[in-house]
A and B are shown apart, each in its own frame.
Chain A
C-alpha cells in the first residue's frame, strides 16, 4: 500500500514539475520522475510479496522457481522502459542545452518562437 502511495506521490510530483516549473531542466526532471513512477507501477504489478528476483539459480527446479519468483515479465518491461527512458532523457537534455545556446534562457515560457 505504501508503495502505491509512493507511486501516486511520484506521479503527482512529476506532473507538478512538468506543469508548474518554468525551467526546462526542471521540466525534464519532472518528466523523468513521471517516467520512474510508471516504472514503479510496472514493478508493483509484477511484485509478489516475499518473492525473489526472477533469476534462475543453477540447479533450481523450474516449478519451485516459478513458485518463488516474482512475475518476470514486468521486470523485463521495466528494464526496457528504463533503457528507453534513458535514451529519451539524454535526448531531452541535449535539446535543453541546445535551447539554452539558441535562446540564451532555460525558461520554458520564453521558448515560444513557434506559435499561432
Chain B
C-alpha cells in the first residue's frame, strides 16, 4: 500500500460519487455533468498511473481521454439543448 495507491483509492471514491450522480440524476444535465467529471477524473487517474509506472503510455491515454470526454460533453450538451448534432 503505497502513497500512490492511496491516491488511486481516493480517485476511485471520487468516481463512485460521480457514478452516484449519474444514477441519481435527476435531470439529464446532472448526468451530463457527472459524465464530464468522470472523464476529467480519468485523466487524473492516468496521471497517477504515469507516476506509478513511469511509462508515457498513460499520458497519451490522458490527452486522448480528455479530448474524448470534451467531445462527448459537447455532444450531450447539444442534445440537452434539443438541437441536432450537426445544427
Q: Which of B39-64 contact A (CB under 8 A)?
A: 53, 55, 57
In the complex, what's the smallest C-beta–C-beta distance from A64 to chain B, in angstroms?
A: 16
Contact B53 A52 (CB under 8 A): yes
The count of residues in chain B whose C-beta lies closer than 8 Å to any C-beta of chain A is 3
Category for how many chain A residues contact B:
under 10
Is A67's CB within 8 Å of the partner chain B? no
Is A55's CB within 8 Å of the partner chain B? yes
Contacts of B57 in A (CB 8 A): 53, 55
In the complex, what's the smallest C-beta–C-beta distance from B10 to chain A, in angstroms?
A: 19
In the assembled complex, the Cα of A53 lies from the Cα of B61 at a distance in Å of: 14
* Residues in B lying within 8 Å of A, measured CB to CB: 53, 55, 57
* Residues in A lying within 8 Å of B, measured CB to CB: 52-53, 55
Can you list 5 pairs linking A and B with CB atoms under 8 Å apart? Answer: A52-B53, A53-B55, A53-B57, A55-B55, A55-B57
